[in-house]
Structure formats: structure tokens, C-alpha cells
Structure 1
């Protein structure tokens, strides 16, 4: 099995290098909307990274993820599943100029998972009431790797073929994940009425209204749950409280505004929901290690390299 995975991993690296080059640093969106790549030519310290519902596979290098208690590592032999919009601290390992870190991500919606699940026999999923973390790791296998390879190979084909076939292959990938060990994990988050699904709805609500004042009581009422239960389950799934999560969303949005718009930091502070520019600057510096203005300049310089 390892031989099959390694052989196909090298094929994927070859396709990516021929089409895009491996000299890129940072993210790369492909012609398939659900598929993107990430590259790094150096190891990094732990940095906050935003995840969304997706399947992540490393093609070269390795990574450590701090999500809760102890950092977890994964490499070319494992895959990662995120079932919600989450934040984790990530450290890239085993990355050099000669052999950069390369990973791929296939994004999906929980609605896509549900569309597959509802056509399957759900009886095998005896869903416990216990809430679990929103990230799941497991060993890669031939059955999962095969459609992933076919999806990336589609990038060599005409646009018409990409548009027609990519949704089918992604649905096949979800089907395989649901039939695999990860099926239990995905089912808990996708099925209406489960605690995990309710928390995902709260996550989406906070994300969509990040610049408004957080009303936990109203959020709890929305999902028919007590405030204490909401706090407890939210923290289990996302590794942070609702207030901490909103703060992360606000600062991520602020980073994008500073990078892409010619706008003062104080204006950004108010736009993302802060009442005090000085508090915004302190919290931004705490998260990114430098002031909003300095960080924006740093990111622009990185893009031009």
C-alpha cells in the first residue's frame, strides 16, 4: 500500500510542477474551485491557520498541528479532515528550497456530505451523544488516494471536462470517506439534530456576523441548547470559546482588509467590530506577532518574492 501511495504521490507532484511549478510560496487556487494547493520552502514556527470543511493531504514534507492539548503531527501517510470552520496553530516541518512542503486541500460543504449519507444505510452509525473535536486524522489508503489522483489529473484536461467531471469525483471521495473510518466523524457533523451539527450552525452564525456583538444567549436559543452546554460543546469542537472564536474571525478578516485595501488600521478596527482601535492593535499584535501596519507590509513583501 505504501508503495502505491508513494508512486501516486510522486505523480501528483510531477503534475503540479509541470502545470504550476513548485517554486511558489503560499496558497494556489486551481481551476477546480474545490481544490487548492499550499507550498512552503522553509520550516515555520506555529502560526494560526483557518480551516474550513475539507480533506487535506500532504504530498511532501510534514506538519504539526496544535489543536487543544498536545500538538499532533501528520505527514504523507495520513490525511486530515475538518468538519467545520476552525482555527488551529500549525507548524510546517521538513521543508527546504530543494524539497518544499506541498499539500492539497479539497473543500466541501456538510450539505454535500448529507446528500451522500442520506442515500446510504445509516444503521451502522450508532452516534453517541459525546461531542468530539472538529479535526480527524487517519491513515491514507489506496481506495481514497485513487480518486484524489484522478481529480488532480483533471487539471491537465480542457475546462469543459473539468467542470463536468470534478463534482462527480469529489462526490466519490466523500462516499469513500463516509464508508471508511471517518464516516462516523462526518455523520455526527452532517446529520441534523446532532450536537455537533448544532455547534456547526453556531460556528456559521458567528462567522457570518463576526462584526456584530456576540449574544451567546440568543445563539443557545437558536439551537435549543443551554448556554453552559453551548460553551462546553463549542470548546470541545473548536478548542476555543465562542468569544475567542469570534476574535479569531475578526482578526483574520482584518488581515485580509489590510492586505487588499488601502485603509487605515483604525478604520479596519471599527469595520470588523472593535470599539477601540488600541484594543484591536494589541490583540492583532498578540495573534500575528507584529502591528497591523507592519504585518500588512510584511505580507505584501512576501507576495512579491
Structure 2
């Protein structure tokens, strides 16, 4: 799945927080984990009744698989997953959140989940239009920090964990969802926008910014990934020069446009084989590959295994859509 040239970040788990706040955070995590357990045992889906909130409880290892992350915040409640975004590889553990500000193909694996030690996580979708409205009321020194694909990870604060706990409580309090869910989502956005992890989010949300223009290119690629890619056409769409587009696209996705298109193709091919039982060659042609040999080579490079073996391994986990 990886090569020596890829950057490795955060390969060691984050240092746990010490002191009284650690006890409070542990108590909140225990409650969140229990609510996710009860929901997962009663439901086969990831989406909860709370708008924008998805949860997962995984009790077996998950081999490398790909997911297109839309603007969202992901948090591990218990366990750890291995994440690859473009050229960056890191371990996402209980002390970090992962913030995604732009649609981004992400490869992940969950190597150590078991029924005794399940991997438990949640994802909260982020509304960029609301973020844009809130930015006018947040005083942040945005010029000192460059936008990066990273907005990738940041420490989980007790304040943010408290917001997440209150949101997960609504899973079992359906009568309160209509009144409280939107308020808690706004508080979560505020915590993210006003913290160091929010820089990428602010760059994307700000109208007219380079990030917002790159997001238009990303949206176009999502719709047209099967066809040929012309960089000059994308640069014109973004109102940038070719080199400027390359630079800002890489800053926000950790990939070049061509790498981004390739991951979209491999993501769709994997979905077709896993969920619609396409043959390898048929899936390759459907997503835009002219050579099955090239497709298999690139699939193996990304996922660490040949397509048929990877799909078989995914089916044994019962995974037909991405865990968090």
C-alpha cells in the first residue's frame, strides 16, 4: 500500500492527556462508546437518526480500503486506524481528530479490531455554508498559518468532546433532535473554526480564496473522473495558472490532480467489484482504464493486494461501505 517515498506522519500514538481532565475525558468517551455500542447492535447502518452523525463499531480487522471523505470531522473513541491521504501516512488514534475540509480520497485500514477490543469511531459532517456565516464572528489570525492538507489532525479538547457527547446522546432522545442537533452542530463548527485545526476549513469556506477555487476543480473531477484530464482546462476553471493550481491543489489534498483522479477511479472500481460484483476487467474499463494490467498494478500499489484478494478480504469483514 505504501512506498518508501511516501511521508509518514504520526506513526506513534499521540501522548495521552494526564491529570483531572484526562479522567473527565475518559468518562465522556466511556459514555459515547456505550451509546455507539447500543446503536450498532440494533442497526446495520452507519448513519444515525441525528442529521450529519455517523458511527461505527468494528469487531474484526479491516484491510486497506478507500473512502471519499466529504467535509467532516472524524474521531476515534476507542482504537486506532491507519490512514493514507495522498503521500501522507499516519495513525489516527483516540487523542486526535481528523478534519477534512475538502472532498478527499482517503485509504484506511483497521488492523487490530476484535470483539474484545472493538474499534469505535464517529463522523460528523460539516456544513461549509454555516461555517462561512460563522467566520464573520470569529477573530482568528489566519495569516500566520499556511493552508495544508493536513488540517489533517489536531488534539481532541475536552470542550469538543463534550459537544460530541451531547450530540451522541440525541441518538436515544429523538424528540430533542429537531431542537438541539443544529445548535450542537454549530457549537462544533465554532470549536473547529476557532482552533488550530480550523485553518483548512476557513480556507475552503472563504469565498474567492484559493481553497474555495480549488474546491470547484475537485467538484468537477468528482463528476468527470472517467474521462481524460487536461490540466490547462482545470487551471482555467479555477482562474489560476497551471503551476499555481498544482501548488494549491496539493496543499489542500496532498495530491496532484492526476493522482486525485486515479484515486477516484480506483475507489469507484472497488465499489463496483464489491457491491455490484463486476469482474476486474469490466470495472477497470468502466472507470476509464484502457489497460487491465495497469489497473491491477495501480490497485495493488494503493491497497497492498490484487483486486480479487482485496475484495474477498473486505467481504469477509461484511464491509460494504466505509467504516470511519
Give TM-score scaled by structure 1 length: 0.85
Instruction: List per-residue Cα deviations over 1:71-119 (Å, max 9, x = no partner).
Output: 434422222211112234445466443121211110124223213224x
**Does structure 1 retain, via aligned residues, the 8 Å contact 2:95–2:156?**
yes
- Hey, what does 1:263 align to over in structure 2? 278
Q: 1:89-238 counterparts in 2 under 5 A?
A: 89-92=107-110, 95-118=113-136, 120-122=137-139, 124-127=140-143, 130-158=146-174, 161-238=176-253
Q: 1:205 deviation in Å? A: 1.6
Q: Which of 41, 55, 60 is the equivalent residue of 1:37?
A: 55
SS of residue in 2 equivalent to 1:211: coil
Distance in 2 of aligned mates of 1:228 and 1:85: 21
C-alpha distance after superposition, 1:134-169 (max 9, x if no partner): 4332222222122211111111023x5434532332
Give the Cα separation in 2 of the matches to 1:300 and 1:54: 26
Q: Distance in 2 between matches of 1:73 and 1:13?
A: 20
2 CA distance for matches of 1:73 and 1:237? Answer: 19
- 2:227 is paired with a residue whose SS is coil
Unaligned runs of 5+ in 2: 1-20
Q: CA 1:150–1:304 in 2, change beyond 3 Å: closer, same or farther?
A: closer
Q: Secondary structure at the match of 1:102?
A: strand
Cα distance, 1:60 vs structure 2: 0.6
Kindly tell me: are residues 300 and 92 of structure 1, through their superposed partners in 2, closer, same or farther at Cα, counting changes over 3 Å? closer
Q: How many residues align?
A: 300
Q: Which has the higher contact order (CA 8 A, sep 6+)?
A: 2
Provide the aligned C-alpha RMSD in A.
3.0
For structure 1, which runs of at least 5 residues remain unmatched after alignment?
none
More deviation in 253-262 or 81-90? 81-90
Aligned to 1:14: 34
- Distance in 1 separating the partners of 2:246 and 2:157: 36
Moved more, 145-154 or 63-72: 63-72
Equivalent position SS for 2:196: coil
Match of 2:100 among 82, 103, 114: 82
> How far is the alpha carbon of 1:55 from its aligned partner?
0.8
Shift in Å, 1:251: 0.9
Q: Distance in 1 between matches of 2:134 and 2:102?
A: 18
Question: 2:124 and 2:22 mapped to 1: Cα distance?
Answer: 22
Q: TM-score, normalised by structure 2?
A: 0.80
2:251 pairs with 1:251: no
Looking at structure 2, the residues matched to 33 and 271 of structure 1 have their Cα atoms a distance apart, in angstroms, of: 33
For the structure 1 residues 50 and 7, does the alpha-carbon distance in structure 2 shift closer, same or farther, using more than 3 Å as the test? same
State the Cα distance separating 1:21 from its structure 2 match.
3.2
The answer to whether the Cα contact below 8 Å between 2:73 and 2:98 also exists between their aligned partners in 1 is yes
Q: Does structure 1 retain, via aligned residues, the 8 Å contact 2:87–2:255?
A: no
